[in-house]
C-alpha cells in the first residue's frame, strides 16, 4: 500500500486521507509524508495555493527536503521552485535562464496562440498569490498565472507551433524579475543523519562590507548551512570583527540597520517584527 501512496499526486493523496479513519492511519504512517508534513509545510502549502498539487507526489517534496544542495550549482539552497520542485539557491533563482517565467497571457500573445492552447501544450501553469516579492517590500504587479519560458518554448518547438526564429524572439524578451520569486518558496533542509532542521543563515559581515563599498550584493544575498557558514566565517574579516566586538555574541554591537531588522527595510514594532 505504501508504494501506491507514494505514486499518488498530492491532491489525490489528501483526498485518500479523507476516505475514512483507516486511510488516514495508512497515509499518516508513510515516513515521507510524516517528514514533509512536519518540516516541509512551506512546500505543501505553496503547491496547494499555486494549484500545482496535482502535478507532484509526496516523494517529489521529500527528496528536496532531505538535501541542502541547489540542484543547479551545488551550493546551499534555501528555496524550492514550485514549478519543478527543485531545490535552488537565491543566486540561481534570480539569474539562471532555467528559471525564467512569464505570465501565461503575455507568453501566449508573444507566441501568437491562445492562452488555453498554450496551457494545453506547455503543461500546468502556476497560480500566483498575494505577497511581497522584492527588497523594497512594495506590492508587486501580480499576473494571474505564470509558466516556465524554457519548458513552454521547447514544447512549442517540438509540436511545430513556432519556428526557431520565433523561439529566439521569445528568449530575448525582457522579464519582470520579481515574478521569479512568485514561483518559489523558502524550504528548510532536514538532515537524516542527525535529525536536525536547517533554514540557512546569512552573514552580517557581508552586509557591513557591502555598506563600506568593499563587496557586492551577491555576497550579502548568499545563504549558508551551519557548516558552510563556519567555513565562510574563517574568510570573512567583517564577520570576525563583529564576533569579537560582541564578545562571542554576549553583548549587542553597532550592526547594519538591515541586519538589525532581520532583513527587512521597514521599521520593527515592539515585538521585534516588521511594523
Each residue of 219-230: pLDDT tens digit? Answer: 778 899 999 999
Q: What is the mean pLDDT of residues 138-151?
A: 87
pLDDT for 133 beyond 90: no
53-57, 171-175, 192-196: segment of lowest average pLDDT: 171-175
What's the grid cell of residue 128?
A: 500566483
Residue 112 domain-assigned? yes
Q: In what order do the strands lie in the sheet with 184-186?
A: 86-88, 79-81, 184-186
Residue 101 domain-assigned? yes
Give yes or no: residues 133 and 168 share one domain.
yes
For 18-68, the pLDDT digits (tens) are 999 999 999 999 999 999 999 999 999 999 999 999 999 999 999 999 999
Give yes or no: residues 180 and 220 share one domain.
no
Residue 266: per-residue pLDDT: 64
Residue 122: per-residue pLDDT: 86
- The DSSP 8-state label assigned to residue 72 in this structure reads T
Give yes or no: residues 137 and 164 share one domain.
yes
Q: What is the mean pLDDT of residues 107-114?
A: 92
4-8, 77-81, 139-143, 250-254: segment of lowest average pLDDT: 139-143
Q: What is the mean pLDDT of residues 186-201?
A: 94
Give yes or no: residues 159 and 215 share one domain.
no
Residues 6+ apart with CB under 8 A from 245: 253
pLDDT for 217 beyond 70: no
24-38, 106-120, 252-266: segment of lowest average pLDDT: 252-266
Residue 6 domain-assigned? no
Question: What pLDDT band is residue 267 in, cutting at 50, 70 and 90?
Answer: low
Residue 81 domain-assigned? no
pLDDT for 265 beyond 70: no
Q: What is the mean pLDDT of residues 81-101?
A: 94
**Cα(148)–Cα(230) distance, integer angstroms:** 36
Residues 6+ apart with CB under 8 A from 110: 102, 169, 170, 173
Helix axes 31-39, 21-28, angle to 10 degrees: 80
Give yes or no: residues 179 and 213 share one domain.
no
Residue 53 domain-assigned? no
Residue 9: per-residue pLDDT: 97
Q: Which residue range forms the structural domain that includes residue 215?
A: 201-260
pLDDT for 140 beyond 90: no
Amino acid at each position: 500500500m505504501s508504494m501506491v501512496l507514494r505514486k499518488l499526486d498530492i491532491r489525490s493523496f489528501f483526498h485518500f486521507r479523507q476516505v475514512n479513519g483507516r486511510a488516514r492511519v495508512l497515509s499518516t504512517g508513510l515516513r515521507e509524508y510524516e517528514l514533509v508534513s512536519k518540516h516541509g509545510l512551506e512546500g505543501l502549502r505553496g503547491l496547494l495555493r499555486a494549484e500545482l498539487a496535482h502535478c507532484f507526489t509526496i516523494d517529489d517534496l521529500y527528496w528536496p527536503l532531505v538535501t541542502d544542495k541547489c540542484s543547479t550549482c551545488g551550493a546551499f539552497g534555501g528555496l524550492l521552485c514550485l514549478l519543478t520542485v527543485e531545490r535552488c539557491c537565491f543566486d540561481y533563482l534570480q539569474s539562471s535562464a532555467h528559471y525564467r517565467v512569464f505570465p501565461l497571457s503575455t507568453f501566449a500573445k508573444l507566441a501568437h496562440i491562445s492562452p488555453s492552447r498554450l496551457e494545453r501544450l506547455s503543461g500546468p501553469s502556476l497560480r500566483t498569490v498575494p505577497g511581497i516579492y522584492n527588497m523594497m517590500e512594495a506590492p508587486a504587479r501580480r499576473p494571474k498565472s505564470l509558466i516556465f519560458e524554457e519548458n513552454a518554448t521547447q514544447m512549442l518547438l517540438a509540436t511545430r507551433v513556432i519556428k526557431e526564429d520565433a523561439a529566439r524572439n521569445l528568449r530575448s524578451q525582457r522579464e519582470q524579475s520579481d515574478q521569479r520569486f512568485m514561483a518559489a518558496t523558502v524550504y528548510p533542509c532536514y538532515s537524516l543523519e542527525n535529525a536536525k532542521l536547517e533554514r540557512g543563515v546569512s552573514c552580517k559581515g557581508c552586509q557591513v562590507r557591502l555598506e563600506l563599498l568593499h563587496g557586492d550584493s551577491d555576497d550579502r544575498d548568499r545563504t549558508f548551512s551551519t557548516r558552510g557558514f563556519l567555513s565562510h566565517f574563517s574568510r570573512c574579516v567583517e564577520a570576525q570583527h563583529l564576533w569579537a566586538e560582541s564578545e562571542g555574541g554576549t553583548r549587542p554591537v553597532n550592526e547594519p540597520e538591515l541586519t538589525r531588522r532581520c532583513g527587512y527595510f521597514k521599521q520593527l514594532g515592539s515585538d521585534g517584527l516588521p511594523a
